[in-house]
Structures are given as C-alpha cells and as structure tokens.
A and B are shown apart, each in its own frame.
Chain A
C-alpha cells in the first residue's frame, strides 16, 4: 500500500474539556463556541505535515465521548491505539485529576505508548488563576493549548506524532 503509515491516537478526557474543539481546530482550523457533546466516538484523519517528520505519517484521531470515563479501557475503540492525548480543562481543576486517572488507565492497558497531556483553554489562564497541576503532570509531556485561539494545537499533535515515530510503531 502506498499510503503513509497511519497511527491511531485516542483523544481522552472528561466531558466538556474541549477534545472535539481541539480535533476541529486541528483538522479544519475552526472553532465553535457552541458546546455539542460528542456521543460515542468520532474519527478524524490527520496527515502530519511533511516538514514535521522525516517520513509521512497519518494520525487517526479517535475523539471519544467524555462520558466513557474508565470504561473506555475495556472498549474495542482502544484497540491498536499507538498513543493517547489526555485533555484537561485548565479552568476546571477536577478535570486535571481525572486526566491523571485516564493517563494511568491507558498506560496500564497499553504500556509503553506515548501519553501526552493537553491543558486546553490555556488562553483563559492568568497569573491569578493558574491551575495547580497534579504532580503526575511532571512525569509526562504537557502542552498548554487553546482550541479557541488555535494556540499550540498543531504543535501538540505533531509532538505526539514525533513520539510515535521515535517509538517506531
């Protein structure tokens, strides 16, 4: 097959943290302020820019229903996933804690796969309300991003692609 190697990336996180907004920003460079929860799973195909990697790669983003919680780890949706992007809402500290649980769950089911944290809505963070990050955030890559402004979104997923590439499969 002549297609570039495709890698499955799970987009996990609590309801309303902005997983779909990040996917929509990455794929179509658009943002809607209207909140429409994802029901089930939505699948996107993202071609990693040629300049970012030494060889072509396609990321298949699985934008999941935040309502899955830990149940996602026993679901067929997770099969063959190469990496996980765990999204937290920088303005809702409780979502950062649940992101840690999701990261741990993913690492247990698929050990060795890259796991990245994205702190979404970082555009709303000021010195006065900067969140206190759970300590687990110190042990994995953390990207501060804004789907609303498009800040660091492409960069975050390119970093994930690089991590998958470094791992080799």
Chain B
C-alpha cells in the first residue's frame, strides 16, 4: 500500500513526532529511495522495509544474503562496543547467480538505542545506465589506445631483435653453410675421380663443420632465451659455487685458479651467476698464451651488489677488440697467430646478456702495451631487478 506524503506538514522548525518519522521513512522506502534492514546483535535479519531490501532474507544471518558482509562479521560486532563505527560500501554489485542484483550503496550502523543494527540499502547512482555506459565507453577507448601503444612498442622491440638475429645468422651461419656446399661439390668431384682418401678427408671436414654449426645454433638458442625463462631465486653459497668452478678446471694442470675476498651467502639466481663466472674463467684459460696461468677470482661485498673481479695474467686484449668480444660468434685470433680460436664465440656474449638480464654489468680493464693480463669486473646485484 502506497503512503502519500503528509500534506499538512508543519513548518521546518517544528519537532516531528515519532509517527511522522516512521511515516516519512516508510514513504521513502516504498518509493525505492532506499531499503532498510534491521539486524539483531547476533547479525540475524529481524525486519526489512522497502522493495530494495527484497533480496535480504528474513530470520537469516545478514551475510547470507548480503555477501559483502561475509568475513566482516568480527568487525561489525565491534560496533556494539563503539557505536561511532560503521561499514559503508559504495557502488557494490552483488552476484548470487548468473545475473547480478544491481549496484548498491550499503551502509551499516549500530543503534545503541534500539540495540539493533540498521542497514541502509540505496541504489548506487552510478547504476544509471547512461552514466555507466559512458564510463565504460571512455574506459574501453583508453584501453584500446594503451593496447595499441603497447603493441607498437612491442613490435618495435621485436623488429630490433629480429634485425640483430638476422644479421648474426646471415653473417655467421651462412658462410660455413656456403663452404659446406662448396666442399660437397668438391667431394663429389673427388669421388668421381676415384680418390677415396681425399674424399674421406673432405667428408671429415664437412662433419666437423656441421658439428660446429650445430653448436652455434644451440648457443644461439641459449643466448636468445636469456631473461625469458623464469628461474627460481634460491639461497646460494657463492664461495661454494666459485670453489666448484675452480675445482672443475683443476685438471688443466698448470692453470691455477685462486679465490680471494669474502664470498657471501645470498638469495639470487644460481644458474645465471654460474654461467657468468664459469664463462669468464673458461675464457681466461682458453685465451691464455702460456703453459702456466693464474686466474684469480675476488669478491668484494657492497651494500647493494657484489663486485667480483676475474683477473688473468694472459696476453691481454687490445682496445680495438674490447667491444667485439662481447658480440655473439666473435672469436679472436689465437695469441701470436691470425687463426681464430676454437669455440663458437658465445662465452662473453652470454656473460654480458646474462648480466644485463639481472640488472648487473661488466667492465673490462686491459692494456697489453703497458702490462700483461685482463681483468673483468662485474657487478652482481644483491636484489635481482625485474
């Protein structure tokens, strides 16, 4: 039954009676301005007013039908000790099935006078369909713009990577491939001439080149995946790690690896740190020009990083080669020769890229004209950057 507003209302400064207040409240509730729910001190619904409260179940715990209150019961119960507290949740959509019940502003208070909670349920103004559609449209457009921008940046990065890889592959893999084709032709000619020994020799060469190319491709794959795989951060005893590296090269008789400084236990990416240190040590041994070699590893703890140096007493690296050595597939001539060294030339490229992926860095100190030896100084962050 609809209740009409009082037509004989007194001037505003007149004191309304309790009956007037009840009548006004009922009027507003029935016109769906709000719904009102009374809840007892055990949080059970005892009464409700107005269609907006229809979804609230009588004689049931309030949280059963007003799900945003689930879990908040301990907080709500404290209102009884401190009536100044309230729980106000604006603009909440309650889903109980595939269809939601609409968007509400929920306000819950404790009435010390009535020893009941009062829940006011008001339709959230944001639910006005035009307003919400406008908001959604603006949001969708912003999203589309952001996505387009992100895609463009992603594409640009991918193109740069692609160009880099295309360059590497064309320059460094195509040459041995051409040589293989050429030698295959030669081998056919050699076989036609009946020279089996020479043909065998050519086939051996082809097999060696094929293996080298296979190693290059494997290395390229490893290089390209640095920083893309999720590795676990773990507790790493850096001293144990570096000692293991030292022990693994100890079979090379006269090459001595020494360990100095303080090597702490840290939370870090173990395999990446090992890749860096092992490649630097291997590189120092491989490029040494004498039977006796000393490679020293030193760690210096800094507040936010470890400063690790790998120093050797080898021939050194001339300034002209300092950038090239960090490029993939670049092998320098063996000391005193013009022939490239064994290996595929990925060691230092892996080191540099690994360090970049964890937010570290590498510096090279070497001046063969002044003194023998090369020192690589790396910074390894204590906290791995994202």
Give me the interface of A with B, judged by CB distance under 8 Å: 1, 3, 6-8, 15-16, 27-28, 30, 35-37, 39-45, 58, 60, 62, 67, 76-77, 79-82, 92-94, 97, 100, 130, 132-139, 142
Expressed in whole angstroms, the Cα–Cα distance for A45 and B68 within the complex equals 9
Contact B126 A76 (CB under 8 A): no
Contact A132 B94 (CB under 8 A): no
Expressed in whole angstroms, the Cα–Cα distance for A80 and B154 within the complex equals 39
What residues on A are CB-neighbors of B124 within 8 Å? 40
- B96 interface residue, CB < 8 Å from A? yes
Taken residue by residue from 75 to 97, chain B's Cβ proximity to chain A (1 for < 8 Å, 0 otherwise) reads as: 10000000000011111111110
Task: State the Cβ distance, A42 to closest chain B Cβ, in Å.
Answer: 4
Expressed in whole angstroms, the Cα–Cα distance for A44 and B98 within the complex equals 10
What residues on A are CB-neighbors of B74 within 8 Å? 80
Contact A35 B143 (CB under 8 A): yes
Contact of A6 among B63, B140, B154 (CB under 8 A): B63
The residue on A at minimum CB distance from B105 is: A40
CB contacts between A and B, total, < 8 Å:
111
Task: State the Cβ distance, A135 to closest chain B Cβ, in Å.
Answer: 4
Contact B71 A40 (CB under 8 A): no
What residues on A are CB-neighbors of B324 within 8 Å? none
Expressed in whole angstroms, the Cα–Cα distance for A142 and B233 within the complex equals 14
Binds A, one of B12-20, B22-30, B131-139: B131-139
Expressed in whole angstroms, the Cα–Cα distance for A7 and B358 within the complex equals 37
The residue on A at minimum CB distance from B93 is: A42
Binds A, one of B223-231, B241-249, B346-354: B223-231
The residue on A at minimum CB distance from B150 is: A92
| Consensus secondary structure, chain B interface | mixed
Task: State the Cβ distance, B321 to closest chain A Cβ, in Å.
Answer: 30
**Can you list 15 residue pairs at the A/B interface with Cβ under 8 Å?**
A3-B61, A6-B70, A35-B140, A37-B135, A37-B139, A40-B90, A40-B91, A41-B93, A42-B100, A43-B67, A60-B67, A60-B71, A97-B386, A135-B358, A138-B231
Contact A45 B230 (CB under 8 A): no
Known interface pairs A6-B63, A43-B94, A77-B89; A94-B150 also in contact (CB < 8 Å): yes
Contact A130 B228 (CB under 8 A): yes
Contact B136 A36 (CB under 8 A): yes
The residue on B at minimum CB distance from A133 is: B230
- B64 interface residue, CB < 8 Å from A? yes
| Consensus secondary structure, chain A interface | mixed
Expressed in whole angstroms, the Cα–Cα distance for A93 and B124 within the complex equals 35
Contact B92 A3 (CB under 8 A): no
Known interface pairs A45-B95, A94-B150, A137-B230; A79-B132 also in contact (CB < 8 Å): no
Contact A16 B143 (CB under 8 A): yes
Contact B68 A43 (CB under 8 A): yes
Contact B96 A45 (CB under 8 A): yes
Task: State the Cβ distance, A157 to closest chain B Cβ, in Å.
Answer: 15
Contact B71 A7 (CB under 8 A): yes
Question: What is the interface residue range for chain B against chain A?
Answer: 35 or more
Scoring A1, A7, A35, A58 by chain B CB atoms within 10 A of each residue's CB, the highest score goes to A1
Contact A41 B67 (CB under 8 A): no
- B334 interface residue, CB < 8 Å from A? no
What residues on A are CB-neighbors of B91 within 8 Å? 39-41
What residues on A are CB-neighbors of B175 within 8 Å? none
Taken residue by residue from 341 to 381, chain B's Cβ proximity to chain A (1 for < 8 Å, 0 otherwise) reads as: 00000000000000000100000000000000000000000
What residues on B are CB-neighbors of A3 within 8 Å? 61, 63-64
Contact B67 A135 (CB under 8 A): no
- B72 interface residue, CB < 8 Å from A? yes
Q: Which of B94-111 contact A (CB under 8 A)?
A: 94-96, 98, 100, 103
Task: State the Cβ distance, A96 to closest chain B Cβ, in Å.
Answer: 9
Contact of B75 among A27, A28, A45, A80 (CB under 8 A): A80
Expressed in whole angstroms, the Cα–Cα distance for A41 and B90 within the complex equals 9
Contact of A42 among B63, B95, B126, B385 (CB under 8 A): B95
Contact B71 A136 (CB under 8 A): no
Known interface pairs A27-B95, A28-B98; A15-B88 also in contact (CB < 8 Å): no
Known interface pairs A76-B89, A142-B230; A37-B95 also in contact (CB < 8 Å): no
> Other than the known A8-B71, A79-B87, A135-B233, what 18 A-B pairs have Cβ atoms closer than 8 Å?
A1-B61, A6-B70, A27-B95, A35-B140, A39-B135, A40-B90, A40-B92, A41-B91, A42-B94, A60-B71, A67-B139, A76-B87, A79-B72, A92-B147, A94-B146, A94-B150, A136-B386, A137-B230
The residue on B at minimum CB distance from A97 is: B386
